[in-house]
């Protein structure tokens, strides 16, 4: 399943989060593939405090255990993580897909 992941980190926690991230991604658990990752250069949405780094990534993940294995060390280091499931829909066939999911 694909997820949009939003990491929100206070700049004071960046060194610890970077260390944890490097450790996690040096040998990632099997079952996760990061397809894209972006660091915001501006405020992406209202309510983000000043001096906060926001990172978005899109990942394909096989299980909740894999999500926990990569999330827990980063959360302990001081980042807040939000995950949103992504439903892929074919371009030009949105009405057909919407009808299928509506039932």
Length of the chain counted residue by residue? 103
Number of structural domains (the chain) is: 1
pLDDT tens digit string along 34-61?
A: 999 999 988 888 999 999 999 999 999 9
Residue 69 has pLDDT above 90, yes or no: yes
Q: Write out the residue range of the structural domain in which residue 32 sits.
A: 2-102
The average confidence (pLDDT) of the chain is: 92
Above pLDDT 90, what percent of the chain?
A: 74
Write the CATH number for 56: 3.30.70.120
Alpha helices in the chain (DSSP H): 14-26, 64-77, 94-102
3-state secondary structure at position 21: helix
Contacts (Cβ under 8 Å, ≥6 apart) of 41: none
pLDDT at position 96 is: 81
Residue 95's pLDDT is: 80
pLDDT of residue 60: 96
């Amino acid at each position: 399943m694909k997820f949009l992941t939003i990491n929100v980190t206070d700049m004071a926690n960046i060194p610890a989060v970077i260390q944890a991230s490097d450790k996690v991604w040096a040998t990632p658990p099997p079952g996760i593939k990061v397809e894209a990752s972006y660091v915001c250069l501006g405020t992406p949405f209202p309510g983000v405090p000043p001096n906060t780094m926001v990172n978005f990534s899109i990942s394909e993940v096989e299980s909740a255990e894999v999500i926990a294995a990569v999330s827990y060390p980063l959360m302990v280091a001081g980042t807040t993580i939000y995950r949103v499931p992504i439903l892929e829909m074919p371009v030009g066939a949105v009405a057909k897909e919407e009808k299928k999911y509506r039932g």
